[in-house]
Each structure stands twice: as C-alpha cells, then as structure tokens.
Amino acid sequence: MHIKEVGVRNIHFPVKIKEKGGQSQHTIATISMQASLPAWQKSGCIDTFIAILNRSVEAFSVRRFREILTQVCEGLQARSAGMEMTFPYFIKKSAPVSGTSSLMEYSCTFSGSVGGRDEMIITARAPVTTLCPCSKEISDHGAHNQRAEVVLNVKTDKLVWIEDLIALIEQSASCELYALLKRPDEKFVTEKAYNNPMFVEDVVRKVAVAAMAHPDIRWFSAGVESFESIHKHSAYAFVDSDDIFREQAA
Amino acid sequence: MHIKEVGVRNIHFPVKIKEKGGQSQHTIATISMQASLPAWQKSGCIDTFIAILNRSVEAFSVRRFREILTQVCEGLQARSAGMEMTFPYFIKKSAPVSGTSSLMEYSCTFSGSVGGRDEMIITARAPVTTLCPCSKEISDHGAHNQRAEVVLNVKTDKLVWIEDLIALIEQSASCELYALLKRPDEKFVTEKAYNNPMFVEDVVRKVAVAAMAHPDIRWFSAGVESFESIHKHSAYAFVDSDDIFREQAA
Amino acid sequence: MHIKEVGVRNIHFPVKIKEKGGQSQHTIATISMQASLPAWQKSGCIDTFIAILNRSVEAFSVRRFREILTQVCEGLQARSAGMEMTFPYFIKKSAPVSGTSSLMEYSCTFSGSVGGRDEMIITARAPVTTLCPCSKEISDHGAHNQRAEVVLNVKTDKLVWIEDLIALIEQSASCELYALLKRPDEKFVTEKAYNNPMFVEDVVRKVAVAAMAHPDIRWFSAGVESFESIHKHSAYAFVDSDDIFREQAA
Amino acid sequence: MHIKEVGVRNIHFPVKIKEKGGQSQHTIATISMQASLPAWQKSGCIDTFIAILNRSVEAFSVRRFREILTQVCEGLQARSAGMEMTFPYFIKKSAPVSGTSSLMEYSCTFSGSVGGRDEMIITARAPVTTLCPCSKEISDHGAHNQRAEVVLNVKTDKLVWIEDLIALIEQSASCELYALLKRPDEKFVTEKAYNNPMFVEDVVRKVAVAAMAHPDIRWFSAGVESFESIHKHSAYAFVDSDDIFREQAA
C-alpha cells in the first residue's frame, strides 16, 4: 500500500533568513519534512532528513529551501518531498510621530514541495488593531478595539519579500502595532484606529484587494482572527483568491 | 467581493455526547462556526452563532450538529455554514490481565458543513505505543519504544461510533495504552509491544487496512506521530484513502 | 536521599463541581498529584493515585478533594500529599441591558496538600476589558482597550464560592465580558469601559481592596495580564497580600 | 497600596548567548520584566523596559542581564527589578559510536532580580530516555521506555555554563538523546538504556548528587517528567536542595 508521506516533525534548528535590504537575520525554525516513498523503500531512512539538515547549518536561506528538498528527494529516491519551516522574523519599525525605533516580531512560514505540485507558499502573520464599527456607531464615546492576527498565505513563482507581505497586512487594518510608542505616538495610533473602524470582514477584504494588485502573487488566502475585548471568543473572517476569481468569472 | 467565511472561534461550551452503549457523557467542547454570507448581509450578525449555541445547552448531540448548522444557515441566509467542535471523550477500559477498570481520555472532533459540500467528518485521536523494529533487530536486549499519537479522520453517511474508531486505532499499534495497570498487566503490555514492533508507516498501513474494511467509512485519512524516545523530534507517517484508491486503480 | 515529591501529571478526568446555587456542574479536570515518600517506600506505586482517582468518578467535589488527598497519604504512608486540578467552569450571565442570557467560561484551579502545610488554594481566572487611561487622556476621540486576564489565588479556612471570586474580579476592571450581547448591551459595555479607564495596576489594586474586605479570605495574590491592542506584548501587574500587610505594618 | 510588580510579558527578542567554548550563538528569547515601583511613580512608564531592551540589541549576553536590570531599576526609581528570558539553545553533539555530528536543541532560562533578593537562576531543560526498572524486571523481553524531560534550576554566585548543566542532566538518565544516529549508534543507545533502568526518582536523585558535587552551585531544584509510553499521563519526581540539606542536618 502506498504511504502518502513519511517524515519527521518538530525539529528545531537555527537558520539564517535573507532580509529585503540585502542582509540576513539569524532565527530559530521549527521544521517538518516528509517524502512520498516507493513501496520497496526501506524504512528508518528518515534520518536522511536530519543528516541533510545538519549539513545545511552554515547557510540556510530561501533558495536553499528548494535545494534541500531536491537533495531529500534524490537521497530517498522519493516521488516527492515537502518541507515546512516556521520561524520568528524581526523588522525594525519607526513609531509614527516620534520616529522612535523598535523591533517587532512576526511569525512566518516557508512551505513547499518538489516532485509533485512543485510549489512554494510564504505565510506571514502579523498582529494588528481592529476597532468595531458597530460599537463606534452606537456609542456616545469610544469604541471597543482589540488585538487581531492576520495570516496571509501566498503562492508565487517570483521572489516576494516577507517585509512586503507584512506591510501589505499592516496597511489593511484599523491600525498597526509597534513595540515602542511615546505619548504622541500613542495619541496617533488611538485616533487612527478610531477614525478607521473595521470588522474582520473589512480587514480580509482590504488584504485581498492589495494582494490581487501585487504583480507577483498568483494565489493567496487570508484569515483574520480578532480577540474581541468584549467577548472571550474571537471573530473570524477568511478569503481565498480562487473563490474571488470564480465569483468574478460568474 | 465575496468573503468566503465569517465566523467565531474558540468558544468553550459544555456539551453532551452520545455513547455507543446508549448513554451520553458530559464534556466541554471548543467550537468554531463560520458561514459564507451574501455580500449584502450586514456584518456583526455573527452573534447569531452564539445565540443558537446558547439555546442548545440542554441537549447537544451528534444529530444536533446538523440541525444547528441548518439553523445558522437559515438564520443568516448564508450560502453555507460550517462548524468544528473538539472535545475530550472518556472510555472505560479494562486492564488486559487483571481486568482492573480505569478511564482513558481521547480527543475527538466533529466537523461538518451544510449548504456546500454537505459532509461530516469524525476525528478520533488516540495515544498508542510504537516499538522500533530496527532497534529491536540490531540490539542484544530491548528496543526503544515510546508514546505515539494516531489521528484518524473519517467521512461517513451513516453513524460511526467514536468507540469503534478508537478500537480500530488501538488494534493497529505495537500496543495500546491504559490509565491503570497492575504488575501482570505491565508485563503483558511490555511483552506485547516487544513482540509487535512497528514503524510509523506500519501503524498507518494497519489503520488504513482496517478503515478500508469498515463498511460505513467512505473516506479517511490517518496520521501517526511518534515521540521518539531516542530523539527530540517525532517520526511521522500519513495516508489518505483517495491516494490508496487511485493507486489501486492504476 | 529524600525525594521531595513523586507523582503523576497531566491526568484528564471528568469531575463534578458544586455550584453556589446548590446544584453541581460536569466538567473535565487536568490533574496532578504528588506525595512525599519515605526513603524505604518502593517506587512504581504512583499508580495508587490513579486507582484512588478512578474510584472517585461518581461524586468528585470540593470536599472530596481533602478526602482523596488523605487516602493518598495513608495508602502510600506518605509524609504529605498534594493535588492540583484545573478545570473550565461555566456561569450563566445576563447581558447588562437586554438581559439576554448566555454561558461564560472561566478557568479555575483547586490546589492543596495534607500532611505538611495543610492548606487549600482556590484560583479563579476571568477575562475582563481594560481601557487605557493615558490613551483616553491624550486622544481627541477613543482610547485603546483590550482583553485582559485576571488570576486571583485565595487561601481560606471556610468555603469560598467560585462565583463570588469571579464577581469580585469582574467588578474590578474597566468592564466585564459576556458571551452574548445585543446592540443596546454593546453600547453599554463600550461606554462603561470608556468611562472607567484603568491601568493593570488599577485593576490589581481594586481586586486587592475587594479581597481584603472579604471575611473568609486570609491570603491572596492577584495578577493582571493585559493583551495590549497597540503592542504585541502584554502589560502586567501583580500583588500579594503578604506584601500589603507588611507595608501596612511598617 | 503597594503594587508588588508592574511589568511587561511575552516580548520576543533576538539575543546572543555566550557559549562555553568562547563563541556566542544567536537565538530568540521570550522575555518578561517587572519592577517594584514606589506608590508615587506614574504608570505607563513600563515602556521603559522596551526602550532599554531595544538599546540592547547588538550585544545581549549573560553579563548584560544584570546591567539591564540595574538600568531598569534606576530608570524607574524602582525598589527592585526582575527579568526572565527563555530561549532555545543549541549544542553540537557527536553520536556515541559513529561520531556523527548533529545539533541538539535545549530550552534554557535566565532569571534574576536586583534591588531585592539580588539573585540569578539558570534553568536548563533537557530531554532524556527513561527505561522502567519494574517493566524490565517482570518481563521476559524488553522494557517500556520513553522520552522524559529534566528541568534543573541552579543558583550561583559564579559563572556556570549551560553546557555543563546539560551534561550533568544527560549523564543522570537511562540514556541521553541525539538528533542524528546511525545504526551502530542506535544499537548503543538501545542497549545502554536497557542496561541502565531508572524510575523518575532515580533520575532526580542522580541529578541531585551531581549538582551537590558541583563547586559553584549553591542551591538547586530538579524535576523529571516522564511521558510514559504505556500511559497517557506522566510520572514525575522533584527534589529541592534545601530539603536535602535540612534532612542531612536532622
């Protein structure tokens, strides 16, 4: 019987990720690898993954992703091989008024496969602020707002920078987040969110419009989970570019 | 633009689940619900989910699952609606030699949708023991073994009991787990695992054979993650019935 | 050498918890038990915990907590024995204006020991809203607000109801949370939070004042973690009644 | 009223950690900081933490830990200040027979405070194998074994290397773990564990003996959690050097 995938999960490994500016940053990835093996292939050989990974310590990068998968595929004589790696990624941001600089952390994932679908997905996750339009409309003062998380998955045949995906997300919410704000900055973000009320549906729609306008994204999906400040549960919205194109064609 | 899904996530709710024996057990579910809304549908109405859920307190059951989704669909004039609920489920087991009785906990999920694909998936997760065939073969004494988790997803048009899915999983590993074992039981499970060495591939293969033989399962997938006692990472294998049928047809 | 504690961890078990109103609710507890054993005590006997727990299925309650510990202590001839059980607990709440009823989930813990310190701690965790006083003061409109979690630990020689601890917490924040709100309720909670701005320090201080006024609480600690909507990190404040009394004595 | 602690939690930050060999490694820390503020101290100043942290990007190290806390204490005119940082740490290991090199990941924590207790705690966590003595004794073949985690906390006035704490732990279990093993290595670790059966109590006892013999450790505690391969729950043992010394004095 054909076993679809055999692999390893939950490997932690130091990697270097190329930054948009030309430099690279050190981070720690959580990695899974799997391969589709022919029936005659002896088991136990999944240590091949670990061995290839350990030879890659010095210069792991996005381009290396595909090389590693190809090595795994050839080393195991596999029909196909896949890998996912999730890692924290840091971007230096300037506060909107004072310009104070601080580091923001985002969670990103590279996932891809060779030998089968041969595709690469980049996932960027960014925290944002959502401010409720309904609450603003009906209340004499204030409006409930909260932290939300946007998850954007994109497929591309070109190079798309994490920095650009994060910027795309951050421009699509009531306001973006910062690690460090001075008083004039706090005034700015409070008022910006208040003047820019958005439901989770509004946020995914704005993310989708921006992603469709990006020349190098050929597929995407986007989800927004808002950790409501007035409820214990989350509000959630999700969009997939396949559905949008199907609707536009209809 | 069409928003694929709007919904709520991470709702905790007490529910009652029907047992195979005719009784029902109290448990706590973590629930997500989402609907595909027409573009004109006003937002903020996701509280409809919570309202319907709160009317369902007294008699939540598997059959209620579809009723609730239909109510959500109609209440929101949605094209389709979906729900997932994950809950701990307890089964009384007897130790293999002494017959000592104890409660084992399993994690299960019901997920389904109406108005679109109209399908229902039951997920059963069970911990098992895997004992490494390679380690046994090459070592003078002993063999490394460890806890593993099997996740079995099945689609059915009939009623499939959680108890039967759990039994199917537990019969497919080196040995099954118990909450309480006396000394003769511990001897029994140690020797059973030693006499029954299995890689993760062997476990998913055996789960797949049993699932294909079940008359009421029309699709399944199964994954096994083994928390290796000699490594910090996991070994993993996965199988999908669509691939098996495609291979058999070829 | 004296081993301080031997025990079991991460046992999931269905339990019944007494409600203030006289009824009881079914829930699922995550349990740890440990004992301080004499040096001559044979190991492997930690299954005693599981056996006692499995005999307790039918009528687990707060009073049973001490009985179970005493049985463990005697069964193992231990110097002392301890147990912690954490469980979701549900309280029916009425929305502040419409009176609409819904279930809110809280996480609670009972922990205690016999044979040593002989004490019992009740922990109640409740989500609340915090609205930032600084943001309100400096902004022309609005103020950032967010979900926060208050953790209150109390020691008592009497019976203290979970419901009373939750109410104490919920009255100490900018606003409390509900599972279900209609539009007039949403207006109410938005304006209540706006009119009641509090830093995390203000929340723990108010919790502390209320806890000190409670006749049956002889020690407490309280922590508040606010999941800031303008940052990715949390603001945190913590208070311990021992420090307060020491300061008052000075 | 005196608020014991005000602070920030859950900050992710890239740091460099000094290795025993003289080099340093890049990793990502999760950081919490808190201070004990005088009553007159204005709130909102917790951004001081973030600002100091952001100035520390280039050369964070163990020595910097105390400097940062002192800066926080002075910047906030606090009575005392504390910080905890938890980070993955990688050590290159050679397989026991083949000598094959691979990277193992460990989780470590530095925690400390100034202005109050003025102490520094180093926590090292390492996965190990435990093989059950009872199972081995009563079974004709094999013995159940599994992954376990040892957590060792030490206080020191000198410099204690993470590498030495990890080695101390790994020498105290049935066997240690590796990221990559060839067949002769797998034979070696299987047989080593089989010839070295240990309950969790045996592991903490051996850790304790080694920690007491270390000249630079003046206090420690150690816990071992074994993820039993025959149960769903864990076995656990814990020891604290204060209890050991008290017992020896009695």
Rounded to an integer, the average pLDDT of B72-96 is: 92
Beta strand pairing call for A80-94 and A101-114: antiparallel
ipTM computed for the complex: 0.92
Q: What count of residues does chain B have? A: 250
The segment with the largest mean pLDDT, out of A36-40, B37-41, C19-23, is: C19-23
Indicate the DSSP class of residue C69: H
The predicted-structure confidence for D187-238, as pLDDT tens digits, reads as follows 999 999 999 999 999 999 999 999 999 999 999 999 999 999 999 999 999 9
B129 touches chain D (CB under 8 A): yes
C149 touches chain D (CB under 8 A): no
What was the pLDDT predicted at B42? 57
Of the ranges A118-122, A145-149, B160-164, D98-102, which one carries the lowest mean pLDDT score? A118-122
Neighbours of D62 (CB within 10 A): 17
d(Cα A234, Cα B9) in Å, to the nearest integer? 5
Tell me whether residues A8 and B243 touch, CB distance under 8 A.
no
The per-residue pLDDT of chain B, averaged, comes to: 90
pLDDT class of D43 with cuts at 50, 70, 90: low
% of chain C with per-residue pLDDT over 90: 68
The predicted-structure confidence for C74-83, as pLDDT tens digits, reads as follows 888 888 999 9
Closest CA to C9 of C88, C85, C60: C85
What was the pLDDT predicted at B44? 53
The segment with the largest mean pLDDT, out of A111-120, B135-144, C1-10, is: B135-144
What was the pLDDT predicted at D99? 96
A181 touches chain C (CB under 8 A): yes
Q: Sign of dihedral through CA atoms B158, B162, B165, B167?
A: negative
What was the pLDDT predicted at B128? 98
What was the pLDDT predicted at C206? 97
Distances (CA, A) of D42 to A187, B26, B105, D3, D207: 18, 49, 50, 12, 46
% of chain B with per-residue pLDDT over 90: 68
d(Cα D148, Cα D98) in Å, to the nearest integer? 24
Closest CA to B83 of B59, B109, B108: B109
Interface contacts A/B by beta carbons within 8 Å: 121
Interface probe, candidates C30, C203, C236, chain D, greatest D C-beta count within 10 A: C236
**Partners of residue A229 in chain C, C-beta under 8 Å:** 129, 145-147, 177, 193, 229
**Partners of residue B11 in chain A, C-beta under 8 Å:** 232-233
Tell me whether residues B238 and A44 touch, CB distance under 8 A.
no
What are residue C146's DSSP bridge partners?
C130
SS3 state of residue B73: helix
Question: Residue C113, Cα to own-chain centre: how many angstroms?
Answer: 17
What was the pLDDT predicted at A68? 86
The predicted-structure confidence for A72-95, as pLDDT tens digits, reads as follows 888 888 889 999 999 999 999 999
Distances (CA, A) of D28 to C222, C233, D133: 29, 15, 39
Per-residue pLDDT at B32 exceeds 60: yes
Which pair of structure tokens corresponds to residue B50? 């919570």
Per-residue pLDDT at A41 exceeds 80: no
Outline where chain C has alpha helix (H). Answer: 47-55, 62-75, 133-138, 162-170, 183-194, 200-213, 241-249
- For chain C, positions 45-84, list CB contacts with chain D under 8 A: 46, 50
Rounded to an integer, the average pLDDT of A139-148 is: 97
Rounded to an integer, the average pLDDT of D174-198 is: 97
Instruction: Name the amino acid, one letter, at A60.
Output: F
d(Cα A148, Cα C230) in Å, to the nearest integer? 10
The alpha carbons of chain D give a radius of gyration, in whole angstroms, of 21
| Residue B227 dihedral angles phi and psi, to the nearest 5° | -85, 75
What was the pLDDT predicted at A61? 60
What was the pLDDT predicted at C168? 98
Tell me whether residues A28 and D88 touch, CB distance under 8 A.
yes
What was the pLDDT predicted at D53? 81
Indicate the DSSP class of residue C10: E
The predicted-structure confidence for C31-50, as pLDDT tens digits, reads as follows 999 998 776 565 556 678 88
The predicted-structure confidence for B121-173, as pLDDT tens digits, reads as follows 999 999 999 999 999 999 999 999 999 999 999 998 888 999 999 999 999 99
Q: Which residues of A159-189 are buried (b: 16+ CB within 10 A; e: fewer)?
A: ebbbebbbbbbbebbbbbbbbbbeeebbbbb
| CB-based contact D244:C2 (threshold 8 Å) | yes
The predicted-structure confidence for C110-119, as pLDDT tens digits, reads as follows 999 998 878 8
d(Cα C52, Cα C59) in Å, to the nearest integer? 13
Tell me whether residues D208 and C2 touch, CB distance under 8 A.
no
Q: Say which residue the tokens 């929101």 belong to.
A: B76
Per-residue pLDDT at D59 exceeds 60: no
SS (H, E, C) chain A: CCCCEEEEEEEEEEEEEECCCCCEEEEEEEEEEEEECCCCCCCCCCHHHHHHHHHCCCCCCHHHHHHHHHHHHHHCCCCEEEEEEEEEEEEEEECCCCCCEEEEEEEEEEEEEECCCCCEEEEEEEEEEEECHHHHHHCCCCCCEEEEEEEEEEECCCCCCHHHHHHHHHCCCCEECCCCCCHHHHHHHHHHHHCCCCCHHHHHHHHHHHHHHCCCCCEEEEEEEECCCCCCCEEEEEEEHHHHHHHHHC
CA atoms within 13 A on the CB side of D38: 9
What was the pLDDT predicted at C1? 66
Residue in chain A closest to C230 (alpha carbons) equals: A177
Rounded to an integer, the average pLDDT of B87-115 is: 95
For helices A200-213 and A241-249, give the axis angle rounded to 10 degrees: 80
Per-residue pLDDT at A59 exceeds 80: no
What was the pLDDT predicted at C43? 54
| CB-based contact B220:B155 (threshold 8 Å) | yes
Rounded to an integer, the average pLDDT of B205-214 is: 96
The alpha carbons of chain A give a radius of gyration, in whole angstroms, of 21
pLDDT class of B2 with cuts at 50, 70, 90: low
Interface probe, candidates A9, A105, A125, chain D, greatest D C-beta count within 10 A: A105
Residue in chain B closest to C48 (alpha carbons) equals: B180
The predicted-structure confidence for A172-222, as pLDDT tens digits, reads as follows 999 999 999 999 999 999 999 999 999 999 999 999 999 999 999 999 999
What was the pLDDT predicted at C157? 80
Which pair of structure tokens corresponds to residue A161? 């920078």
Question: Residue A235, Cα to own-chain centre: how many angstroms?
Answer: 19
pLDDT class of C30 with cuts at 50, 70, 90: very high
The per-residue pLDDT of chain C, averaged, comes to: 90
For helices A200-213 and A162-170, give the axis angle rounded to 10 degrees: 140
**pTM score:** 0.95
Tell me whether residues B129 and D144 touch, CB distance under 8 A.
yes
What was the pLDDT predicted at A96? 97
What was the pLDDT predicted at C59? 53
Rounded to an integer, the average pLDDT of C60-78 is: 80
The predicted-structure confidence for C170-217, as pLDDT tens digits, reads as follows 999 999 999 999 999 999 999 999 999 999 999 999 999 999 999 999
Q: Which residues of B79-106 are buried (b: 16+ CB within 10 A; e: fewer)?
A: ebbbbbbbbbbbbebebbeeebebbbbb
Distances (CA, A) of C91 to B49, C26, C94, C164: 19, 12, 10, 11
d(Cα C109, Cα C23) in Å, to the nearest integer? 19
What was the pLDDT predicted at B97? 98
| Residue A171 dihedral angles phi and psi, to the nearest 5° | -80, -5
B179 touches chain C (CB under 8 A): yes
The segment with the largest mean pLDDT, out of A49-63, B161-175, D14-28, is: B161-175
Per-residue pLDDT at B77 exceeds 70: yes
Tell me whether residues C1 and D236 touch, CB distance under 8 A.
no
Of the ranges B97-106, B189-198, D30-39, which one carries the lowest mean pLDDT score? D30-39
Angle (CA) A213-A214-A220 rounded to 5° is 95
A23 touches chain D (CB under 8 A): no
Which pair of structure tokens corresponds to residue C15? 């339990």
d(Cα C5, Cα B79) in Å, to the nearest integer? 57
Question: Residue C140, Cα to own-chain centre: how many angstroms?
Answer: 38
d(Cα C175, Cα C81) in Å, to the nearest integer? 40
